[in-house]
Chains A and B, each alone.
Chain A
Amino acid sequence: MLIDVNAHLGHYPFRRLRHRTAAELIALMDANGIDRAVVSSLHAVFYRDAHRGNEELYEETKRYGSRFIPVATVNPKYVGWRRDLDEAVERWGMKGVALVPEHHGYALDDELGRAALARIAELGLPVVLTQRFEDRRQRHHWDVAEDLEVKTLLKIAGEHPNLKFLLSNWIGLDGAALAKAGLKGRCLIDFARLHVMYLKDVPRLIETLGVEAIAFGSHMPFDYVGPSLVKLANLERLPAADLEKIAWRNAAEFFHIDV
């Protein structure tokens, strides 16, 4: 069993992605032995009304049953976001909520960000924070989004002590600082941009946060899946139960998914 916690569906405005539809993503998953994927809508990042992207995500993924674990994207700056969020969760069964403050024009620690995070915590769902979609050094001149910052993450972790965080596509995470901010036991970090060997980010995070904090993630379809498969293979010498946690069990428990 393999669950990918870092996947996206749809077009990206600044680069052609080869695998954009649910069917294309399923084919990519099948080719790489990925059983299920936590997926959010890229359209919801760029539409004025993010919820239209959630609707598309629901419609496109529902025919594939449990293969996809869709998460909603909410823009707390947009009218009616609370009702939209309720619809995504209660009617469509979405398992988490992605916030993209850099793209939607607010901050995680301002009034709007705090309101969204508080509501997500009330719903008992994890918030999904993608540090970046693309490297800023190759950005289109219309792409002004900065990477999410670790210091902001640490701040909001303290402000929302019951909220769970999926940290997707991050680097620069200091496990001790995350633990000090109370994130041990309530964050899940994918290793799409982290190193198992040589620079050893993943072993260091396991030391400080426990193996329960780590999950397989590929950042597909932006990135090749092979890099994360290689990292998973390099974790093979962990005890089997730990490897299983990283491959899928942590993700299943984090999102309360029956496997």
Chain B
Amino acid sequence: MRESDRPNRREILKAGGLLLGAGSAGRAAAADPKPEPPSGCVGLPDSWRAMRKFDAHNHVFEPVQEPDADWSRAEALLEAAEAMGIEKLCCSKPITGGKMVGIEEVRAANDSILAAMRRYPDRIAGYCFVQPGNGPVALDEIERCLDAGMIGVKLYNQFKYSDPIVFPVAERCVERRIPMLGHSGHVTDARTRAAQPRISDSLDFCALASRYPELMLILGHVNGGGDWEWAIKGLRDCPSVYVDTSGSVLEDDTIGMCVRELGVERILFATDMTVEGCVGKILSADLTAEQREAIFWRNLQKILDRRPS
């Protein structure tokens, strides 16, 4: 790209052009020669943006189901996904903070995901968030969400997954052959433990998986805060549990340890909003092209293919 062809810094920032987003990158690439890559790009595989990717763990937290909703944050997510080559974003809107709410609030949360699915039908898939403590209406909510096209169930930290109160939800996931994605963390600092007293760690996942070995259970964000080495080691004897790679912690060798201890077929690429970092982790990991492809999308596709047509 010639210097005179480049937009100036203010134009780029104002227009969000840094985001390379939503088709704009493709248009720019068609119009201009590709800019000379900085030398750092030698550390990234060729054509990394074009590698197919499904994000198994993301969110739309804004109440976009409401009239005159502000879609800017969701649009920014889609723009980033476009630039990163993320074809599908599997999103949920959990009730955070460890609180239990009524089913109406749960439905409203899921309605926002359904609205996002309608707006971006080719890009956003939905997990149905439920609180097992809501009882049978939680199961009704799962049915409502699946009927509307969602692909799985998301649990947060209202209950540990080893708690029998979770069993009916797990059984429904088995019956419907859908994945269950669970918030997780082996948190070792007192502040986080106090804030999330019922957060599940990998042993809770294992307990549930041993009771329901046919359940497609995903340990969410192995790098989402917490001792990730503990988390991975705790899953070694639970071969039916998958792990997603998302989270804001970008520590070296996380992916390598997942591969060594769990096997590549149990690893699902995800970002949980750390879009660039989590793509970069997979690109930096010592993986073959086939392993990277399995993690980036094939493993999740296999899970989704197990659902009834």
* B283 beta carbon closer than 8 Å to chain A: yes
Choose among A31, A216, A232, A237 the residue with the greatest number of B CB atoms under 10 Å from its CB.
Answer: A237
Shortest A20–chain B CB gap in Å is: 11
What chain A residues lie within 8 Å of B207 (beta carbons)? none
Given known A31-B43, A197-B83, A239-B9, contact A15–B38 (CB-CB < 8 A): no
Shortest A101–chain B CB gap in Å is: 19
Which listed residue, B9, B191, B279, touches A238 by the CB 8 Å rule? B9
Complex Cα–Cα for A115 and B278 (A): 40
- Interface pair A137/B9, CB less than 8 Å apart: no
Given known A196-B18, A237-B28, A240-B3, contact A139–B189 (CB-CB < 8 A): yes
What chain B residues lie within 8 Å of A223 (beta carbons)? 250-252
- Interface pair A243/B38, CB less than 8 Å apart: yes
* A55 beta carbon closer than 8 Å to chain B: no
* A93 beta carbon closer than 8 Å to chain B: no
In residues 205-259 of chain A, which contact B (Cβ within 8 Å)? 206-207, 211, 216, 219-243, 247
Shortest B257–chain A CB gap in Å is: 10
Complex Cα–Cα for A199 and B41 (A): 22
User: Chain A residue with minimal CB distance to B34?
Assistant: A236
* A83 beta carbon closer than 8 Å to chain B: no
- Interface pair B9/A197, CB less than 8 Å apart: no
- Interface pair A229/B249, CB less than 8 Å apart: no
What chain B residues lie within 8 Å of A184 (beta carbons)? none
- Interface pair B40/A222, CB less than 8 Å apart: no
* A103 beta carbon closer than 8 Å to chain B: no
* B127 beta carbon closer than 8 Å to chain A: no
* B309 beta carbon closer than 8 Å to chain A: no
Flag A176-218 by CB within 8 Å of B: 1 or 0 each.
0000000000000000110111111011001100010000100
Question: Interface size on A (CB < 8 Å)?
Answer: 59
* A79 beta carbon closer than 8 Å to chain B: no
Complex Cα–Cα for A229 and B252 (A): 14
* B67 beta carbon closer than 8 Å to chain A: no
Complex Cα–Cα for A63 and B185 (A): 42
- Interface pair A35/B39, CB less than 8 Å apart: yes
Of the candidate stretches B104-112, B115-123, B225-233, B262-270, the one touching chain A is B225-233
* A155 beta carbon closer than 8 Å to chain B: no
* B100 beta carbon closer than 8 Å to chain A: no
Complex Cα–Cα for A46 and B41 (A): 34
What chain B residues lie within 8 Å of A151 (beta carbons)? none
* A2 beta carbon closer than 8 Å to chain B: yes
Complex Cα–Cα for A228 and B252 (A): 13
Flag B25-41 by CB within 8 Å of A: 1 or 0 each.
00010000001111111
What chain B residues lie within 8 Å of A211 (beta carbons)? 9
Flag A118-161 by CB within 8 Å of B: 1 or 0 each.
00000000000000001111111100000000000000000000
* B162 beta carbon closer than 8 Å to chain A: no
Choose among A2, A15, A226 the residue with the greatest number of B CB atoms under 10 Å from its CB.
Answer: A226
Which listed residue, B3, B39, B252, B280, touches A230 by the CB 8 Å rule? B280
- Interface pair A197/B21, CB less than 8 Å apart: yes
User: Chain B residue with minimal CB distance to A192?
Assistant: B250
* A77 beta carbon closer than 8 Å to chain B: no
Which listed residue, B192, B253, B277, touches A227 by the CB 8 Å rule? B277
What chain A residues lie within 8 Å of B281 (beta carbons)? 224, 226-227
Complex Cα–Cα for A232 and B76 (A): 18
Complex Cα–Cα for A28 and B12 (A): 32
Choose among B36, B192, B250, B279 the residue with the greatest number of A CB atoms under 10 Å from its CB.
Answer: B250
What chain A residues lie within 8 Å of B226 (beta carbons)? 137-138
- Interface pair B39/A247, CB less than 8 Å apart: yes
* A18 beta carbon closer than 8 Å to chain B: yes
What chain B residues lie within 8 Å of A231 (beta carbons)? 276, 280
Given known A195-B276, A235-B18, contact A227–B38 (CB-CB < 8 A): no
- Interface pair A206/B38, CB less than 8 Å apart: no
- Interface pair A135/B284, CB less than 8 Å apart: no
14 more CB-based (< 8 A) A-B contacts, given A200-B18, A233-B41: A134-B251, A138-B186, A195-B275, A198-B275, A224-B254, A224-B280, A226-B44, A229-B43, A229-B284, A230-B84, A230-B283, A234-B18, A235-B18, A240-B1
- Top 9 A-B residue pairs of the complex, sorted by shortest distance between their CB atoms: A226-B284, A32-B43, A227-B280, A226-B280, A33-B42, A137-B225, A224-B284, A198-B80, A227-B277
Q: Which residues of A contact B (CB under 8 A)?
A: 1-2, 15, 17-19, 31-35, 134-141, 192-193, 195-200, 202-203, 206-207, 211, 216, 219-243, 247
Could you give 19 example pairs across A and B, Cβ below 8 Å?
A135-B249, A138-B188, A139-B189, A197-B21, A197-B76, A197-B84, A200-B76, A211-B9, A222-B251, A224-B255, A224-B280, A226-B280, A227-B250, A227-B278, A229-B280, A230-B44, A230-B280, A237-B20, A242-B9
